[in-house]
Amino acid sequence: MEQERLQKVIANAGIVSRRKAEEYIQKGRVKVDGKIITELGYKVSKHAIIMVDDIEIKRSQELRYVLLNKPRGVVTTTSDDKHRKTVVDLIDLPERIYPVGRLDYDTTGALLLTNDGTLAEFLMHPRSGIPKVYLAKVEGIIKGEHIVALKNGVVIDGRKTAKSRVKLRRVDIENQVSFVELTIHEGRNHQVKKMFEALGFSVIKLKRESIAFLSVKDLPSGEYRLLNKKEVARLYGLMKTSSNETI
């Protein structure tokens, strides 16, 4: 009988990412046929009854891929104990989906959501190297020396960032602010804000304009769209390319 790893089944059901599913298993939050399973890699048949926090998961969901232009004041989670609006609240789909990575409460722009655990895990992994383009409005005047420093990497949290692509879009001398386009290939916590802070600049506004080839240029704030088959195939193509490069 064909079997699959428990964490993969949970992720593909759109509950959480595979990494988070592994945490749930280790914490004893998952049951298979009434028995708590804490073993990573545990395999289950297609007939097994799987429960997460005593709620049975549905394993026959259609895979969904959503690009959202996240507005300010929305949290990037599936639920919030402070009862704030979440990114999932903005999307009307019958399937349970979850955000791929995070954007801060006050950060806007491109965010992917899906119930495809395999693809989500790849996109969130630091080694994937997926380019993410941000537009930052910063307090102060960015000069050539700052651009060079950002390009070459700055030290945040005791570790230097990878090289980035940087473009100074505009400088407002009167209001003493600069608009900088920054393309990074990592996904460290609050990375863009910390990179500017390392150079003595505060980020006033931050928008993620694109993830890989997916842009929110023509997508109004707070709106979303489903990815088409070609776009999903291109994302899987990136995963295949990344896998081949690591062999």
Q: Provide the annotated active-site residues.
A: 104
What is the chain written as a DSSP string? --EEEHHHHHHHTTSS-HHHHHHHHHTT-EEETTEE---TT-EEETT--EEETTEEPP--PPP-EEEEEEPTT-BSSS--TT---BGGGG---SS--EESS---TT-EEEEEEES-HHHHHHHHSGGG---EEEEEEEES---HHHHHHHHH--EETTEEPPP-EEEEEEEETTTTEEEEEEEES---TTHHHHHHHTTT-EEEEEEEEEETTEE-TTS-TT-EEEPPHHHHHHHHHHHHHHHHHH-
Give CA–CA dist 117/111, Å, rounded.
16
